[in-house]
Structure 1
């Protein structure tokens, strides 16, 4: 994964995330997604290198944020692994 902070025409920062999409579960597999950095968790979140995520995006490849289901997967937390397993079970790309 590659992370970049970029700015829109109004100088608002956002994250450009280039993914290793070898384990994409569903949808059109865009290798680049975007996340707002405006502090509103419903519009985006901060991604970190080395972490696994379930990221839900809209048709423009902007993540839906925590309110839309996007979240980090924490390997040692049972609820996180249960969430990932549920998403995998519902995925058409098994």
Structure 2
């Protein structure tokens, strides 16, 4: 994963996240997603290098934030394991359109 801070025309910061998404669960595969950095967890969240995430995005590649289900996966936490298992059951691997 690669993280960059980019700015829009109004000088608002966003994270540009380039993913290594080898474990795509559902949807169209994209390597780049964006996250708002306005301290509103519903619009975005901060990503950290070296962590695994379940990221829900809209069709333009913007993440939905914590309110939309995006979250870090903490391998030793029961809640994270259960969340990931539930997502995998609800969204079984299906053919993915690759760019």
Scaled to the shorter chain, the TM-score interval is over 0.9
Distance in 1, matches of 2:92 and 2:81, equals: 19
- In structure 1, the partner of 2:8 is 8
Shift of 1:59: 1.0
Local SS of the residue matching 1:21: coil
Gaps of at least 5 residues in structure 2 are 95-99
Shift of 1:92: 3.1
Distance in 2, matches of 1:59 and 1:39, equals: 22
Gaps of at least 5 residues in structure 1 are none
**TM-score normalised by structure 2 residue count:** 0.92
- In structure 1, the partner of 2:29 is 29
Distance in 1, matches of 2:27 and 2:92, equals: 9
Q: CA RMSD in A?
A: 0.9
- In structure 1, the partner of 2:65 is 65
Distance in 2, matches of 1:42 and 1:52, equals: 19
How many residues align structurally? 94
For residues 9-54 of structure 1, give each alpha carbon's deviation from its aligned partner in whole angstroms, at most 9, with x where no partner exists. 1110000000001101111111100000001000000000000000
Spell out structure 1 runs of 4+ moving beyond 4 A: none
- In structure 2, the partner of 1:75 is 75
- In structure 2, the partner of 1:17 is 17
Q: Which has the higher helix share?
A: 1
Shift of 1:91: 1.8
